[in-house]
Amino acid sequence: MMSRDPELAASVSESEPTPEPIVSRTALGRGLAALRIFVGLIFFANGLAKLTGDRQVEFGWYRGFLIVRDEARNILNFEVNERGGGTLVPYLKDIVNDVILPNWDVFQWVVTYTELGVGLLLILGFITRGAALVGLLFQLFLALAYLSSNRWMFEQPHEYVPLFILAIVPSGRYWGIDGSLLRDRSSLRRWPF
């Protein structure tokens, strides 16, 4: 049973050494900030490719590509309607075929500006947890499209697990605008900052 005597409690706590943390808060904050910036760069680059239509990426010996608007539509159509006979996820085929694909002239820009906006907010560390939540919902929709298409089991978790973490942890407080805002306005120490 714990003693209710404050002097005894104080003497016990003074005599027990405080263990050193394995990793400092600063190191953890910087690590999560690096993850935030990296995920932001991925989103922003994908959005920029859709905005400009430039899909090819070349840096020295590195060559790769990003997905542009028409390719995004074709991939969505293929994954939902064609791969393995189409998705088995209830209502997904209806939503994609009745709402998204017929209105792709609007949705292509929703996708483009979502990727650009989420990417920019994550890179800058501004409204970080809110931006990560939007990115998470975006990626979870894609995960639904892949869910029953007989793909490699871990095709999508590397896309949405980091966003889930970033939606919970305030990583914009390190190397981000969120941290600058919170120094001046402690009332903002809540979600989405």
Q: How do residues 100-115 score in pLDDT, each as one tens digit?
A: 999 999 999 999 999 9
Closest CA to 53 of 133, 122, 112: 112
155 vs 72: which has the higher pLDDT: 72
pLDDT confidence of residue 4: 56
pLDDT confidence of residue 102: 98
C-alpha dihedral sign at 175, 54, 133, 167: negative
pLDDT confidence of residue 182: 87
Calculate mean pLDDT across residues 46-75.
96
Task: Indicate the domain borders of the chain.
Answer: 27-188
The angle formed by the CA atoms of residues 84, 89 and 95, to the nearest 5 degrees, is 105
Calculate mean pLDDT across residues 56-83.
94
pLDDT confidence of residue 84: 83
Q: How far apart are CA 163 and CA 144, in angstroms?
A: 16
Query: Which residue spans within 31-72 are E strands per DSSP?
Result: 56-59, 62-65
pLDDT digits (tens, 9 = 90+) for 80-139: 999 888 889 999 999 999 999 999 999 999 999 999 999 999 999 999 999 999 999 999
Instruction: Examine the pLDDT at 12 and tell me if it is beyond 60.
Output: no
| pTM of this structure | 0.85
Instruction: Examine the pLDDT at 190 and tell me if it is beyond 80.
Output: no
| Backbone phi, psi, residue 2, to 5° | -75, 140
